[in-house]
Amino acid sequence: MLPEFWFGTIAVLWAGFVLLEGFDFGVGLLLPVLSRDEIDRRIVLRTIGPHWDGNEVWLLVAGGATFAAFPEWYATVFSGFYLPLALILLGLIVRGVCIEYRHKVGTAKERLWCDRGVTAGSLLPAVLLGVALSNWVRGVRMDEGFHMTDSFWQLVSPYALLGGLTTLLLFTFHGAVFVSLRTTDELRDRALGWARRLGPPTVLAAAGWLLWSLALRGSATALGLAAVIALAAVGAVLASRAGREGRAFLGTALASLLVPIFVFACTYPDVLPGRGTPGLSIDAATSSPYTLKVMTVVALVVTPVVLAYEAWTYWVFRQRLTRPPVTAAQLTSA
Amino acid sequence: MSAETLARWQFAITTVYHFIIVPLTIGLSLLVAGFQTAAHRTGRKHWDDAARFYGKLLLVSFAIGVATGIVQEFQFGMNWSEYSRFVGDVFGAPLAMEGLVAFFLESTFLGLWIFGRDRLPPRLHLLSIQLVAVGTVASAYFILAANSWMQHPVGYRFNPETGRAELTSIWALLTNSTQLVTFPHTVLAAGMTGGAVVLGISAWHVRRGGGEHRAMHLQTLRVSAAVVLVCGALVSAVGHVQGQVMTDQQPMKMAAAEALWRTTDHAPFSLFAIGDVSRGENKVDVTIPDGLSILADNDPAATVEGVVDVQADAVARFGPGSYVPVVWLAYWCFRLMIGFGVLAALLALVVLVQSGRHRLEDSPRLLRLAVWGALLPFAANSAGWLFTETARQPWLVYGVLRTADGVSVGPGSGHVLATLVGFTLLYAGLGLVAVRLFLRIGKQGPVEPDQPDADPWLHPGHGDDGSSGAPLEPALVD
């Protein structure tokens, strides 16, 4: 009972991470194409400014919860997906520092380097997360001690690459919709334009990836979730075409957050299925009942508080950002 | 080199680096919260200036702490997967709690603090930075509880069925006797670090007159010197207790710290030795008679166990093998930790005395010394961290799991080498950028929010009116 609860909790933590950091990645990816000038770039980055760090914590807590609740899973996945994970970390480090330092460095050239860092640091995790999630669905080769024996190139199958493309497109679409929801005037229009352009390919890639995933490891629940993801993505496309960014955001948010839930539904009752070898099941990976009980109490007490203050920060910064009246002289003096 | 050696280097480099930044972040967040609280209570502008100014520097340090902290969270699984399998049931719990309780708190409220200055009521804005400070200290508690468990495992049992360590009491883990001394020692050292940095920056400005913010710099100079002195006194008092706990729990560590080879009563404390301490052959050895016995047991006649005897005991308990860490490293790190810490506290004391006599203006050399003195706690922190981790070797979890048995099986040495080189280069680059930024902002001093040099992050189109800060319009959400 408790191991299943924690399997579900970790799925929810991943869902929270993908929902929130998904649009952060999208904003980083779109930074070069959405902005016409320095003020645009400042506004685009400010849409995620107060939130991105808190959003990233969802990944850290997902990692920590996996460590505590399923040590075997944590050990197998993080040592097995060694290089992809190292590249994700590299991206996250560069991106975080560049977001924070961009507005503190002195020159336009240094700011440009920070912008490139934000985009590159968003690209790496946006692609590699899809690659990693696909490999969870596809299953990995493991020895009897649950040590992964796949090489890096065996993880980069066509199916996994389609997964990477799907998350890349989905996050970028999600980010475009998010920016359109958080800005006004030209910036909003440009973001909506990108949302319109990104929508259809996102739906295509996602549909292909979902079908391929179901063919590999389908279940009734997974099928249902895949249908909801597809509907939500189509809804987001229609809403963005109609210029309804609020509804479009609901669509991309729902589609994004259900992706990890879908992956977990595919692999259940394994936390990590095998490919030609026995998989790592929830029961084999779980911590002792006492540890799970302790973690459950902590999670039940703390999580509502966390959710409350995180939601509150989004409420505090709910206003759309808009360009100030500004002269060219003021801009160059910056 | 083997994957194990490379993984050890990687852990050493990334962790020592992380621990250069983290004490600064903890110390500065406490000080900035203190400055802003003072501003709120007294309504005096220079406290507000100090909170803004050092808040900027806090953000520079925070960004690096967050970035390098991500690696810490995942490195256990990447390079130390067998360790993770064996101890995850115990060790994972404080890590997960750290994320859930502390990381969410500090990151969310830091965002509110940065961007909420013009949007939140002053009281809530103050609460935000206070919660950031609480978050950094809570984070330290959980991660040090995890580390203390590696130094002195409690609240667990070995389960022969699953072949791993399993938690039996979270309370025992969180109130580990090692933790109860390690936590205050580390947080007080963080206070010294933040204090010494504020002291150094204030001294730099005061020596140059300080301009219109002279009053602020003089104020922060005095406060930070007092913080360094008080924290320094407390950190050594706690460290003394910690040494006794350590002697009791990890006798090898104390023996190595002293390069004490034979069990001795009336053991002297070696201040400085030339020769080969790792063989107990010292040509010059300046000692304090009975010093070590007092340090270890508060008794000049107390018997302190030496390396050779602890090794013999360990072989009898755990089987054949060497249980001796790198003695010269332990010996010198222990001395450098104490030495640098004492120097920082003495420097702060002299600054306070001169300040009390209103003689700071006549002491440019002291002020210059105080600028460089900002480095002392960093050196002490790194030495202490190296000491406590390396002198636990060959154990990963003391008496339970050897370092060699904790390393990942899968990733080959090529992979580990690649990430070792990658992270080292990346960290070096980040370090250069961060130090340059820190020095530039530090030298610039406080900037009024409506000046062109104010943070464009907060004021995307600064120069419009400056009073309302960010140019925002009411929500237009449909």
Q: Give me the interface pTM, i.e. the ipTM.
A: 0.91
Q: What is the mean pLDDT of chain A?
A: 91
**What pLDDT digit, counting tens, does each position of B69-91 carry?**
889 889 999 999 999 999 999 99
Q: Which residues on B lie below 8 Å from A145 (Cβ)?
A: 409
pLDDT band at B155 (very low <50, low <70, confident <90, very high): very high
**Average pLDDT estimate for B152-158:** 93
**What does the alpha-carbon distance between residue B243 and residue B257 come to, in Å, rounded to a whole number?**
10
The yes-or-no verdict on residue B229 having pLDDT over 90 is: yes
Asked, for residue B461, whether it belongs to a domain, the answer is no
State the pLDDT at residue B462.
44
Same domain? For B318 and B334 the reply is no
> Is the model more confident about B298 or about A54?
A54
**What does the alpha-carbon distance between residue A200 and residue A204 come to, in Å, rounded to a whole number?**
6
pLDDT band at B108 (very low <50, low <70, confident <90, very high): very high
**What does the alpha-carbon distance between residue B306 and residue B252 come to, in Å, rounded to a whole number?**
8
Q: Which residues on B lie below 8 Å from A50 (Cβ)?
A: 111-112, 114-116
The yes-or-no verdict on residue B424 having pLDDT over 80 is: yes
Same domain? For B299 and B276 the reply is yes
Same domain? For B347 and B434 the reply is yes
Q: CA-CA distances (angstroms) from residue B359 to B212, B230, B352, B379?
A: 20, 22, 10, 29
- Number of Cβ within 10 Å of residue B284's Cβ equals 8
State the pLDDT at residue B395.
92
Encoded tokens for A144: 């009897």
State the pLDDT at residue B276.
67
**Average pLDDT estimate for B320-329:** 90
pLDDT band at B474 (very low <50, low <70, confident <90, very high): very low
**CA nearest neighbour of A296 among A283, A287, A285:** A287
Same domain? For B201 and B302 the reply is no
Q: Which residues lie closer than 8 Å to A58 by C-beta, 6 or more apart? A: A13, A14, A16, A17, A20, A21
Q: Helix %, strand %, coil % for chain A, to 5?
A: 80, 5, 15
Task: Report A:18-47 residues touching B (Cβ under 8 A).
Answer: 39, 42-43, 45-46
- Percent of all residues in chain B with a pLDDT value above 90, rounded to a whole number: 63
Asked, for residue B466, whether it belongs to a domain, the answer is no
> Is the model more confident about B453 or about A273?
A273
Q: Which residues lie closer than 8 Å to B8 by C-beta, 6 or more apart? A: B403
E strands of B19-149, at which residues?
A: none
For residues B120 and A316, is the Cβ–Cβ distance under 8 A? yes
Encoded tokens for A122: 């968003």
Question: Between chain A and chain B, how many beta carbons pairs sit less than 8 Å apart?
Answer: 285
**What does the alpha-carbon distance between residue A298 and residue A290 come to, in Å, rounded to a whole number?**
13
Same domain? For B137 and B274 the reply is no
Same domain? For B183 and B272 the reply is no
State whether B410 and A149 contact (CB < 8 Å): yes
Q: Which residues on B lie below 8 Å from A89 (Cβ)?
A: 70-71, 74
Asked, for residue B318, whether it belongs to a domain, the answer is yes
Asked, for residue B294, whether it belongs to a domain, the answer is yes
How close is the nearest chain A Cα to the Cα of B212, in Å?
A: 23
For residues B249 and B398, is the Cβ–Cβ distance under 8 A? yes
Q: What is the mean pLDDT of chain B?
A: 88
**Average pLDDT estimate for B441-447:** 90
The yes-or-no verdict on residue A66 having pLDDT over 50 is: yes
Query: A230-268 burial by CB neighbour count: b if 16+ within 10 A, else e?
Result: bebbbbbbebbeeebbebbbbbbbbbbbbbbbbbbbbbb
Q: Which residues on B lie below 8 Å from A71 (Cβ)?
A: 84-85, 87-89, 92, 164
Q: Are strands B264-265 and B303-304 parallel, antiparallel or unpaired?
A: antiparallel
E strands of chain A, at which residues?
A: 270-272, 280-281
Q: CA-CA distances (angstroms) from residue A86 to A79, B95, B227, B233?
A: 10, 20, 39, 42
Q: Which alpha helices (H) appear in B250-326, and where do they start and end?
A: 251-257, 291-297, 307-318
Task: Report A:145-184 residues touching B (Cβ under 8 A).
Answer: 145, 147-149, 181, 184
For residues B263 and B309, is the Cβ–Cβ distance under 8 A? yes
**Average pLDDT estimate for B439-465:** 65
The yes-or-no verdict on residue B463 having pLDDT over 80 is: no
The yes-or-no verdict on residue B221 having pLDDT over 80 is: yes
**Average pLDDT estimate for A47-75:** 92
| Among A69, A72, A86, beta carbon nearest to B85 | A72
Q: Which residues lie closer than 8 Å to B180 by C-beta, 6 or more apart? A: none
**CA nearest neighbour of A59 among A12, A95, A101, A97:** A12
The yes-or-no verdict on residue A325 having pLDDT over 70 is: no
Exposure of B97 in the CB half-sphere (CA atoms within 13 A):
24
> Is the model more confident about B299 or about A115?
A115
Asked, for residue B133, whether it belongs to a domain, the answer is yes
State which of B323, B357, B375 marks the end of a domain.
B323
State the pLDDT at residue B117.
87
Same domain? For B104 and B178 the reply is yes
**CA nearest neighbour of A83 among B414, B214, B350, B144:** B414
Same domain? For B363 and B377 the reply is yes
Same domain? For B276 and B372 the reply is no
State the pLDDT at residue B467.
34
Same domain? For B230 and B370 the reply is yes
pLDDT band at B379 (very low <50, low <70, confident <90, very high): very high
AA identity, residue B9 = W
- Number of Cβ within 10 Å of residue B345's Cβ equals 22
pLDDT band at B176 (very low <50, low <70, confident <90, very high): very high
pLDDT band at B460 (very low <50, low <70, confident <90, very high): low
For residues A177 and A249, is the Cβ–Cβ distance under 8 A? yes
State whether A90 and B456 contact (CB < 8 Å): no
How close is the nearest chain A Cα to the Cα of B86, in Å?
A: 8
State the pLDDT at residue B468.
36
The yes-or-no verdict on residue B220 having pLDDT over 80 is: yes
How close is the nearest chain A Cα to the Cα of B152, in Å?
A: 19
State whether B472 and A321 contact (CB < 8 Å): yes
Which residues lie across from B156 on neighbouring strands?
B167
The yes-or-no verdict on residue B400 having pLDDT over 80 is: yes
Rounded to a whole number of angstroms, the CA Rg of chain B reads 24
Encoded tokens for B426: 């990346």
Q: Which residues on B lie below 8 Å from A189 (Cβ)?
A: none
pLDDT band at A276 (very low <50, low <70, confident <90, very high): confident
> Is the model more confident about B275 or about A108?
A108
The yes-or-no verdict on residue B455 having pLDDT over 80 is: no
- Percent of all residues in chain B with a pLDDT value above 70, rounded to a whole number: 91
Same domain? For B331 and B312 the reply is no
AA identity, residue A21 = E
**What does the alpha-carbon distance between residue B85 and residue B250 come to, in Å, rounded to a whole number?**
24
**What does the alpha-carbon distance between residue B416 and residue B422 come to, in Å, rounded to a whole number?**
10
Number of domains in chain B: 2
In eight-state DSSP terms, residue B103 is I
Region of A70 on the Ramachandran plot (φ > 0 left; ψ -120 to 50 alpha; else beta):
beta
Find the range with the poorest average confidence among A77-81, B118-122, B123-127, B357-361: B357-361
For residue B270, give the 3-state DSSP assignment.
strand
Q: Cis link prior to A269 (omega < 30° from 0)?
A: yes
For residues B397 and B150, is the Cβ–Cβ distance under 8 A? yes
Asked, for residue B458, whether it belongs to a domain, the answer is no
Same domain? For B224 and B298 the reply is no
Find the range with the poorest average confidence among A31-35, B314-318, B412-416: B412-416
**Average pLDDT estimate for B328-334:** 91
**Average pLDDT estimate for A107-133:** 93
Is A83 within 8 Å of chain B by CB?
yes
Encoded tokens for A160: 């996994």
**CA nearest neighbour of B153 among B137, B163, B164, B138:** B164
State the pLDDT at residue B469.
40
Asked, for residue B283, whether it belongs to a domain, the answer is yes
State which of B291, B323, B355 marks the end of a domain.
B323
How close is the nearest chain A Cα to the Cα of B125, in Å?
A: 12
Which residues lie across from B269 on neighbouring strands?
B288
Q: Is the dihedral angle over the CA atoms A273, A279, A282, A286 positive or is it negative?
A: negative
For residues B168 and B90, is the Cβ–Cβ distance under 8 A? no
For residues A199 and A255, is the Cβ–Cβ distance under 8 A? no
User: Which domain range does residue B120 map to?
Assistant: 3-248+325-444
How close is the nearest chain B Cα to the Cα of A124, in Å?
A: 15
Asked, for residue B450, whether it belongs to a domain, the answer is no
* Distance from chain centroid for Cα A301: 26
Q: Which alpha helices (H) appear in A102-157, and where do they start and end?
A: 108-138, 152-155
Q: Which residues lie closer than 8 Å to B5 by C-beta, 6 or more apart? A: none
pLDDT band at A333 (very low <50, low <70, confident <90, very high): low
State the pLDDT at residue B282.
64
The yes-or-no verdict on residue B461 having pLDDT over 90 is: no
pLDDT band at B440 (very low <50, low <70, confident <90, very high): very high
How close is the nearest chain A Cα to the Cα of B44, in Å?
A: 27
